[in-house]
């Protein structure tokens, strides 16, 4: 009998977790503290509304945390008259932020996939890129997230994603090297296994690697 209360306690539904995000007021107070730490006066006219402005900007820059990238790919089309050749959407501009310094990452993404009886509206591919970009990111991780999301939902024969970006954590601080672009790629399925498919994709997006491949 003494055991029953303990078993019930173990099986009881755990309490709902509290929202880990601070309130808007707490966020603005933190920004005010950063202004003080930087050496300025947050009460002067030019900075008086800055905490509220920054909080609003963060709401836009990091809107990806409130979005489900897979949901954008849920609606597909199968009436494509048997089309099974490569589909490429290139030069998708994105703006993200480095998770190490909160500095901007600005660049473009090229996406290609080999459909397997279904395709998705091209704007949805751009929305997937935006959803992942509007989070604190590392380029390599974002590259992989985009590719795996498309592969998981659409189940194509293959996916290729190339990201080219400039990292302001490198150009505006640290080594201060401007004019440097970081390029990453993720190839899945046919894009990884078939050199001809990979070369075609790289040629379409205008990657220098296409001439060196093979």
Active site residues: 98-101, 139, 167, 169
Q: What 3 state SS string does 11-66 have?
A: HCCCCCCCCCCCCHHHHHHHHHHHHHHHCCCCCCHHHCCHHHHHHHHHHHHCHHHH
SS3 call for 49: coil
Contacts for 75 with CB less than 8 Å, ≥ 6 apart? 120, 121, 124
Measured CA to CA, the distance from residue 163 to residue 187 in angstroms comes to 12
Count of other CB atoms within 10 angstroms of residue 141: 14
Tokens of 145: 């997230």
């Amino acid at each position: 009998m003494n055991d029953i209360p303990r078993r019930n306690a173990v099986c009881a539904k755990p309490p709902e977790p509290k929202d880990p995000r601070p309130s808007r007021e707490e966020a603005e107070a933190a920004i005010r503290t950063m202004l003080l730490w930087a050496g300025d006066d947050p009460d002067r006219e030019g900075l008086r509304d800055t905490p509220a402005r920054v909080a609003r900007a963060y709401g836009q820059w990091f809107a990806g945390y409130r979005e489900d990238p897979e949901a954008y790919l849920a609606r597909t089309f199968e009436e494509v008259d048997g089309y099974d050749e490569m589909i490429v959407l290139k030069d998708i501009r994105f703006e993200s932020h480095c998770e190490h310094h909160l500095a901007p990452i600005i660049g473009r993404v090229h996406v290609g996939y080999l459909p397997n009886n279904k395709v998705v509206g091209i704007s949805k591919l751009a929305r997937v890129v935006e959803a992942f970009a509007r989070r604190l990111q590392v380029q390599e991780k974002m590259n992989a997230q985009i590719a795996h999301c498309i592969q998981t939902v659409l189940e194509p024969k293959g996916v290729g994603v190339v990201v080219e970006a400039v990292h302001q954590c490198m150009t505006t601080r640290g080594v201060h090297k401007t004019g440097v672009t970081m390029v990453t790629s993720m190839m899945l399925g046919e894009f990884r296994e078939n050199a001809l498919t990979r070369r075609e994709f790289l040629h379409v997006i205008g990657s220098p690697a296409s001439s060196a491949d093979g």
